[in-house]
Amino acid sequence: MESLDDLRRSRALLTIEEFAAKTGYSRRTTERLIASGVLRSTKVGRLRRIVPVDLVALIEAGMDPRHLAR
């Protein structure tokens, strides 16, 4: 996984697949995190995107993203 500083500075929005790859989650688990409100996302047209800083916020809050959806 990239460092937290790299994620904080990143301006690129993550696709659900990219987020899943960075966390080791499946696409479905990532979708469940979004649906439950644990992970924030934004829509760009019909596409769902995740701001990298939201992944950082989860980690800094002490919530290991690998254990949130289980």
The residue among 35 and 12 whose pLDDT is bigger is 35
Per-residue pLDDT, 66: 56
With respect to residue 19, please indicate whether it lies within any of the assigned structural domains.
yes
With respect to residue 23, please indicate whether it lies within any of the assigned structural domains.
yes
4 falls in which pLDDT band (50, 70, 90)? low
pLDDT digits over 25-60, tens only?
A: 889 988 998 998 888 899 999 999 998 888 778 777
With respect to residue 51, please indicate whether it lies within any of the assigned structural domains.
yes
Per-residue pLDDT, 69: 47
Mean pLDDT confidence for 16-26: 86
Which range of residues forms the domain containing residue 26? 4-60
- Our count of domains for the chain comes to 1
The C-alpha atoms of residue 33 and residue 19 are separated, in whole angstroms, by 11
Q: Which residue has the tokens 């916020």?
A: 57
The C-alpha atoms of residue 36 and residue 38 are separated, in whole angstroms, by 6
Query: What is the pTM for the complete model shown?
Result: 0.70
Nearest to 65 by CA among 28, 5, 55: 55
